[in-house]
Structure 1
Amino acid sequence: MHKLVHAWGCDRLTRDEQARYSRATFELIVEVVEMAESGRTAPEDKLRVVPHVMESFAALGDRGNKVSEGVVDELEGVGLFLNHIGKWREGREIQEVVLDGRRRILGEEHPDTISAMSNLAIALGDQGQLDEATIHH
């Protein structure tokens, strides 16, 4: 989102309106990521979307709300996409939120929580952070 539009939104919209628009923006980002993962996007375009992904992710977090199960599902795909294109730091940041959400919503022993732990551990391992990966796996 352009900085002026963002500033206007923060200045003029209620918190609920900001949350609704942030969610709508995130939905668009998810669609772009799904297109990129399906191979319908040129490799250089995948890298161009990263700043927008992270800005949208930050806006979701700025609302002070814990993410819902549906958002956690979408975040998981976005985090995996970032790891696939070599944006490990960004992917890790999102995967940590996914793991926290899975634990909160589903509990520690749920298969989706364990899968989120595994995804985070793999991402950490790919970055050479083996000690930390062992803790999460």
Structure 2
Amino acid sequence: MTAEGSPRTGGGAQEPVGDLVQRASQQLSQPVRDEMRLAQAEMTQKGKRFGKGGGLFGGAGLGVLTLQALVATVIAALSLVMDVWVAALIVTAVLAAVTALMAALGKQQISKASPPAPEQTMDSVKADVAEIKEKAQR
């Protein structure tokens, strides 16, 4: 019997509505699961980039604090061969360059991870929805 309650005819080979709904549900659930896996992978990758960028920013700040003792030592050592103010200026310039480099690398990593949304997955879902709409209009 068909969904309308009439007996099936041998030549029509129509499926019951329940079977059609079940098959449609199965066909739609697989792309959804695939998109969820893609979104998870994409967000994991972005999370790693944010972590790396944040670590580099943290390293830039912590590096300056950690180097304080070394700075004093280097200035003292250089002051044996030049004026103290020249030694301090050289050390300050080197530390500023290292800090700027670390901050730039950290910013670069964070900008690669932004925006924190699974863009590839969203594009893929939009394409899936468009395809479903196109097939539904046929």
**TM-score normalized by the length of structure 2:** 0.29
Larger radius of gyration: 2
* Greater RCO structure (CA 8 Å; 6+ sep): 2
